């Protein structure tokens, strides 16, 4: 088949069973867009309003579907506009293939119009990247890109293709990549280490499991549940690990982290065996490392060797795919119940309820608070919706109060903390799962970083429910200014536009609520409306998010107020 390099790009995507791509055209990628014109029935292209919107949408699509997300941009500013999302995908282990156009090969290094060394600048934030200058290399490089992106610990890959390579004709063949020399994405599990781990768990009086996103990425939800149920292990989750175990499960004890639940943080420093599954001991989880779980024997089930002993020394490292290591471990652990130890978590839950939750859910103040809005949203949707959040106070509240009942339904920016992530990521999530209700929950600050993606909603007709929790502040920064900078609110107060008029300009149904009396009725309208809906909820301007582990503190010093 003698075709152009541009058509080879399209046919390569189709060979990898890609059905949806997100992008924005421009000069250096125009040949690929011309080729796409003839394949619109086989390959859906979503025109976002900014390249950052394209990469975040691809992230949302990948996180919900489990497939590789794909985005396309032109050279220069088009490529650099992808970098925030690529960095976000790298730290959150999201599989992406990002394709960028580049100036013709004879112009490389000449500072030609819209030339940028995107391979050089993206190297630190990609799992792998490559530049293609010959059409014949397009298919094998893209095959490798998809294999690297999805295998082992997933991540983003960037392929930069010169314009002349896109025009060049060659004899196209495509062969999927199944193996690469010197790249071993799935280490062989050491069964002796599994046995050692099981022995520690069987002898433990206060065992504790911490679950990260690796369980979801490794499709190990069933294996995790079988493991913790057999051994009777209290289980907490990182933010990205949420939905690995349903919130209603009797062994689920809550969320870890700076604004996680009280018991999961406090009792990290009381357990005798700590089992970490597919998580990387991020600083927001550990607090002061010098005072983190020093009393415990640490078992770390992890696929990526670089994460072993990086932050927390593992007494028993179990390297390998957790889907398999959990299966092996479950066979060796004993049937046990830790009634007294679980009671400690319940005691902490009650303390948190009395000091924090009761005041937030049963507030007598006139102003609404974020917690009651998310709590009611969770009840109305039975925890079954896909919840996509931005970054800030609303994010922490949403993760704590939404009761996830299905896996792969929590989409947020974890490690990079990217404001503006939510709206485009939610579009991608909805396109990946059109059968699911998708809730895009964001603050007024995050919404205004990518509001142009309302245009993508308008053009695609995607049915997305957008909730803006408006406190007229950059809330999380303001909270820190209140607690640690003597209430010196330096440039955190927001003067916002009329969000309803903005939504109406894009032809999207909209409403605003600030009264508790009509909250329930409007939330029901919001959820049940056929088509997209932007709902603004005015909440208290100076509300804070607790519990909280302050920077530099031990997890045992978690604050309730």
Told to judge if 167 belongs to the known catalytic residues of this protein, a careful annotator would answer no
Query: In Å, how far are 203, 228, 301 from 231, measured between CA atoms?
Result: 11, 5, 16
Catalytic residue from among 22, 59, 131, 163: 163
Told to judge if 172 belongs to the known catalytic residues of this protein, a careful annotator would answer no
Q: Give CA torsion, residues 532, 533, 539, 542, to 10 deg.
A: 40
Catalytic residue from among 7, 16, 51, 168: 51
Q: What local confidence, expressed as pLDDT, does residue 365 receive?
A: 77
Per DSSP bridges, beta strands 2-4 and 169-171 are antiparallel
Dihedral pair phi/psi, residue 405, rounded to 5° = -120, 0
Catalytic residue from among 166, 476, 499, 546: 476
Q: How many CA atoms lie within 13 A of 64 on its CB side?
A: 29
Q: What local confidence, expressed as pLDDT, does residue 366 receive?
A: 82
Interatomic CA distance for residues 32 and 101, integer angstroms: 9
Query: In Å, how far are 200, 261, 418 from 545, measured between CA atoms?
Result: 36, 11, 19
**Spatial CA neighbour of 253 closest among 234, 238, 266, 271:** 234
Tokens (6 digits) for 349: 């839950």
Told to judge if 175 belongs to the known catalytic residues of this protein, a careful annotator would answer no
3-state secondary structure of 59: helix
Told to judge if 501 belongs to the known catalytic residues of this protein, a careful annotator would answer no
pLDDT tens-place values along the chain, 561 residues long: 899 999 999 999 999 999 999 999 999 999 999 999 999 999 999 999 999 999 999 999 999 999 999 999 999 999 999 999 999 999 999 999 999 999 999 999 999 999 999 999 999 999 999 999 999 999 999 999 999 999 999 999 999 999 999 999 999 999 999 999 989 999 999 999 999 999 999 999 999 999 999 999 999 999 999 999 999 999 999 999 999 999 999 999 999 999 999 999 999 999 999 999 999 999 999 999 999 999 999 999 999 999 999 999 999 999 999 999 999 999 999 999 999 999 999 999 999 999 999 999 987 778 999 999 999 999 999 999 999 999 999 999 999 999 999 999 999 999 999 999 999 999 999 999 999 999 999 999 999 999 999 999 999 999 999 999 999 999 999 999 999 999 999 999 999 999 999 999 999 999 999 999 999 999 999 999 999 999 999 999 999 999 999 999 999 999 999
Per DSSP bridges, beta strands 96-102 and 156-162 are parallel
Helix H segments across 333-369? 339-352, 358-361
Catalytic residue from among 14, 114, 436, 448: 114
Told to judge if 345 belongs to the known catalytic residues of this protein, a careful annotator would answer no
Digit-coded pLDDT (tens) for 285-344: 999 999 999 999 999 999 999 999 999 999 999 999 999 999 999 999 999 999 999 999
Q: What local confidence, expressed as pLDDT, does residue 69 receive?
A: 98
Does the N-terminal peptide bond of residue 405 adopt cis geometry, omega within 30 degrees of 0?
no
Catalytic residue from among 1, 113, 484, 485: 113
Q: What local confidence, expressed as pLDDT, does residue 10 receive?
A: 98
Q: What local confidence, expressed as pLDDT, does residue 363 receive?
A: 74
């Amino acid at each position: 088949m003698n075709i152009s390099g541009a058509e080879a790009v399209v046919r390569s995507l189709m060979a990898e069973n890609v059905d949806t791509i997100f992008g924005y055209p421009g000069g250096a990628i125009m040949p690929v867009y011309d080729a796409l014109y003839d394949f619109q029935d086989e390959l859906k292209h979503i025109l976002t309003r900014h390249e950052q919107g394209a990469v975040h949408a691809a992230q949302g699509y990948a996180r919900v579907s489990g497939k590789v997300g794909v985005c396309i941009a032109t050279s220069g500013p088009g490529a650099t506009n992808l970098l925030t999302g690529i960095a976000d995908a790298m730290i959150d282990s999201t599989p992406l293939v990002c394709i960028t156009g580049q100036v013709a090969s004879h112009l490389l290094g000449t500072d030609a119009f819209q030339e940028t060394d995107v391979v050089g600048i993206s190297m630190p934030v990609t799992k792998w990247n490559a530049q293609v200058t010959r059409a014949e290399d397009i298919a094998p490089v893209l095959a490798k890109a998809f294999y690297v992106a999805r295998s082992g610990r997933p991540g983003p890959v960037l392929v930069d293709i010169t314009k002349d390579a896109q025009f060049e004709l060659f004899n196209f063949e495509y062969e999927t990549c199944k193996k690469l020399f010197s790249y071993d994405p799935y280490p062989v599990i050491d069964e002796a280490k599994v046995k050692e781990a099981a022995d520690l768990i069987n002898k433990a009086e206060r065992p504790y499991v911490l679950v990260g996103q690796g369980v979801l990425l490794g499709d190990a939800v069933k294996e995790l549940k079988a493991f913790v149920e057999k051994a009777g292990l209290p289980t907490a989750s990182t933010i990205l690990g949420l939905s690995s175990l349903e919130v209603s499960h009797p062994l689920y004890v809550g969320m870890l982290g700076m604004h996680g639940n009280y018991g999961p943080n406090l009792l990290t420093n009381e357990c005798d065996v700590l089992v970490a599954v597919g998580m990387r001991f991020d600083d927001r989880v550990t607090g002061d490392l010098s005072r983190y779980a020093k009393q415990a024997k640490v078992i770390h089930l992890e696929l990526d060797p670089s994460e072993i002993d990086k932050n927390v020394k593992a007494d028993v490292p179990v390297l390998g795919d957790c889907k398999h290591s959990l299966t092996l471990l479950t066979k060796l652990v004993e049937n046990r119940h830790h009634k007294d130890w679980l009671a400690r978590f319940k005691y902490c839950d009650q303390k948190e309820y009395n000091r924090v939750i009761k005041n937030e859910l049963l507030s007598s103040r006139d102003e609404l608070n974020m917690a009651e809005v998310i709590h009611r949203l969770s009840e109305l949707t039975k925890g079954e919706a896909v919840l996509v959040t931005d970054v800030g106070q609303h994010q922490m509240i949403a993760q704590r109060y939404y009761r996830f009942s299905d896996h792969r339904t929590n989409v947020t920016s974890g490690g990079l903390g990217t404001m503006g992530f939510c709206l485009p990521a939610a579009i991608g999530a909805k396109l990946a799962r059109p059968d699911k209700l998708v809730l895009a929950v964001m603050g007024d600050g995050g919404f205004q970083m990518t509001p142009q993606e309302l245009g993508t909603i308008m053009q695609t007709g995607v049915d997305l429910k957008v909730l803006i929790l408006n406190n007229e502040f950059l809330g999380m920064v303001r909270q820190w200014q209140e607690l640690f900078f003597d209430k010196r609110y330096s440039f955190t107060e927001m003067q916002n536009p009329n969000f309803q008029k903005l939504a109406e300009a894009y032809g999207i149904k909209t409403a605003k609520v600030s009264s508790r009396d009509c909250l329930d009725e409007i939330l029901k309208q919001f959820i049940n409306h056929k088509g997209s809906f932007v709902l603004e909820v005015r909440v208290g301007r100076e509300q804070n998010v607790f519990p909280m582990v302050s920077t530099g503190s031990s997890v045992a010093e978690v604050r309730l107020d």
